[in-house]
Amino acid sequence: MHLTYIFVLVLAGMLVGFINTLAGGGSSVLYPILIFMGMPIHTAIGTSRVGFLAQGIFSVAGFKSKGVFLYPFNLYVALSAMTGGLAGAWISLHTSAQNLTRILALIMLLIAFLILVQSKIKKTHHNPRLKGKYLIVSILVYFVIGLYGGFIQAGMGFMIILAGTLTNRLNLTQANSIKALIVLVMTLPALYMFAVKGFVNWQAGMFIALGTAIGSWLTSRWSVKINEKYIRLIIASIVVVLAIKLWWYQ
């Protein structure tokens, strides 16, 4: 693998770590970068999951060490999301490259909108709703989220945060802990399915994961000095430009 190619992969991973730490939706930038570098879209999606897996492992470990785990609720919804993820990955693998590319471009426009409005979501401090009918509804909701995540994964974090805050009245930290676990358990089988079909470039995935770790760490240290409002606007604009370019990309 050429050094320039490795450098771009690490840089792309750093960009994902930066975006995910500040706003979320980093995969909506990573996918088109990999596609424009010559990767088929199925390989771009499969390879990106290597980075998502690494990020999920460290995130879950971090939340657990801080005592934010919400057991057994997190286990129920994670298993539901994993089941949906398996179905979603199967659908993705059986969707033509052209259709998948067009779907991704449309999803990226939605993600750009979510990046802009995410900060307007009200933070809740109510008691979490984790049992009874709320648990049943959550299992169904997270199955659908897992289905989408297995299919393409871009922007799935936004959906998990919305589900956690609106359905379960979780605070942002609790919702992020659920997101970390779901990303981890859903990525494992989806990554396996893509790998079996030969749609994972493991070398590229490892360099992306390295860059993501570096970008996340640096941004977490410097983010207090960054005007988040303007950063969100810049990121959303980049996503829109990439989406338009991707729509017409052959």
Question: Is the per-residue pLDDT at 90 higher than 90?
Answer: yes
pLDDT tens by residue, 164-176: 888 888 877 788 7
Q: Which two tokens stand for residue 4?
A: 């320039």
pLDDT, tens digit, for every residue of 176-229? 788 888 888 888 888 888 999 999 999 999 998 888 888 777 765 664 455 667
- Measured CA to CA, the distance from residue 102 to residue 115 in angstroms comes to 20
The pLDDT value recorded for residue 23 is 60
Res 70 pLDDT > 70? yes
Mean pLDDT across 59-74 = 75
pLDDT of residue 43: 93
pLDDT in tens, 21-52: 666 677 788 888 888 888 898 999 999 888 88
pTM for this model (two decimals): 0.81
**Between residues 39 and 19, the one the model is more confident about:** 39
pLDDT tens readout for residues 105-122: 888 888 888 877 766 655
What are the φ/ψ torsions at residue 100 (nearest 5 degrees)? -65, -40
Give 80's pLDDT tier (boundaries 50, 70, 90). very high
C-alpha angle with apex 189: 183 to 192, nearest 5 degrees? 120
Q: Which of the pair, 36 or 54, is modelled with greater confidence?
A: 36
Mean pLDDT along residues 72-96: 90
Average pLDDT, the chain: 82
Share of the chain above pLDDT 70, in %: 89
Higher pLDDT, 250 or 89: 89
